[in-house]
C-alpha cells in the first residue's frame, strides 16, 4: 500500500511539473516589463514613480548619464522606489556613428556614475534608438543589452494611442516608454488599471526574467 501511494504521489509531481512547462501563464497571469528611457526628468520621473507606487508596480529606468549627474536625487528616488536602473549612455548618441573608444567612454562613464550614486551594480544597457553594431558588445564592459518588443512611440503619439499600443502586450513583452513625456504620464494610470483588471503583472526587467525562469524551472 505504501509503495502504491508513493508511486501515485511521484506521478502527480511529474504531471505538475509537466503542466508548468506547458502553461507558464497558469500562476499569476501574464507578465510584462515596463521600461522608461532618457531620464531622469526633473518633473515627470517623480510623477511616474508616484503612479507606479500607487499600483504597487516596479519598472526599469534606463538613465542618461548627463541627466543622472544633474539630478542624482532622482536616481536615488528611483532606487528607493524599488525600481531598477540601467545604462542609456552619457550623452544619448547613436552608437553606430561613434568610434569604439567613444562608445566605451559613453558606457563606462555612465555605469561608474550610476553605481556611485546607487551603490549597486549596473547590469543592463540600452543603446539609444536600439542601434548598435555587433562589435558594440565588446565595448560595453559586460553589460547585457536590453531592447524591447513593444515600442509605444510615446514621444510622438497621444495618450490614447499609447494606451492602445500597450494593451496589446503579451507574456514576456518588454514595453518601451520614456521618462520625460507628459502623454505617457497621462496614459500610465489607465494602462495599469487595465493590467490589474486583466491579470497582467508589470515588472522590472530582472523580475520578469526571474519570474519566467522560476515558472519554467530553468
Catalytic residue among 38, 41, 173, 178: 178
CB distance 88 to 75 below 8 Å: no
**Residue 2 is a catalytic residue:** no
State the CB neighbour count (10 A cutoff) for residue 172. Answer: 15
Instruction: List the one residue out of 14, 36, 27 whose CA is nearest residue 155.
Output: 36
Query: How far apart, in whole angstroms, are the C-alpha atoms of residue 121 and residue 173?
Result: 24
Which residue among 37, 38, 154, 173 is the active-site one? 37
H/E element, 215: helix 205-216
- Catalytic (active site) residue 37: yes
What's the gap between Cα 188 and its chain centre? 15
DSSP track, 106-174: HHHHHHHHHHHHHSS---EE--GGG---GGGGGGSTTPEE---SEE--TTTS-HHHHHHHHTT--TT-E
Q: Write out the catalytic residue numbers.
A: 37, 178
Amino acid at each position: 500500500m505504501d509503495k502504491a501511494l508513493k508511486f501515485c504521489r511521484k506521478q502527480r509531481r511529474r504531471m505538475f511539473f509537466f503542466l508548468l512547462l506547458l502553461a507558464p501563464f497558469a500562476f499569476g497571469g501574464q507578465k510584462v516589463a515596463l521600461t522608461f528611457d532618457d531620464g531622469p526628468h526633473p518633473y515627470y520621473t517623480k510623477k511616474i514613480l508616484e503612479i507606479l507606487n500607487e499600483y504597487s508596480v516596479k519598472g526599469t529606468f534606463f538613465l542618461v548619464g548627463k541627466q543622472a549627474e544633474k539630478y542624482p536625487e532622482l536616481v536615488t528616488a528611483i532606487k528607493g522606489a524599488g525600481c531598477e536602473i540601467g545604462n542609456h549612455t552619457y550623452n544619448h548618441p547613436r552608437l553606430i556613428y561613434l568610434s569604439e573608444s567613444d562608445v566605451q567612454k559613453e558606457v563606462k562613464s555612465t555605469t561608474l556614475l550610476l553605481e556611485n550614486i546607487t551603490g549597486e551594480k549596473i547590469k543592463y544597457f540600452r543603446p539609444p534608438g536600439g542601434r548598435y553594431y555587433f562589435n558594440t558588445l565588446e565595448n560595453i564592459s559586460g553589460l547585457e543589452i536590453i531592447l524591447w518588443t513593444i515600442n509605444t512611440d510615446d514621444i510622438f503619439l497621444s495618450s490614447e494611442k499609447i494606451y492602445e499600443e500597450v494593451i496589446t502586450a503579451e507574456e514576456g513583452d518588454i514595453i518601451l516608454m520614456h521618462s520625460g513625456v507628459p502623454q505617457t504620464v497621462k496614459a500610465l494610470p489607465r494602462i495599469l488599471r487595465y493590467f490589474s483588471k486583466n491579470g497582467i503583472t508589470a515588472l522590472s526587467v530582472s523580475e520578469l526574467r526571474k519570474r519566467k525562469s522560476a515558472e519554467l524551472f530553468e
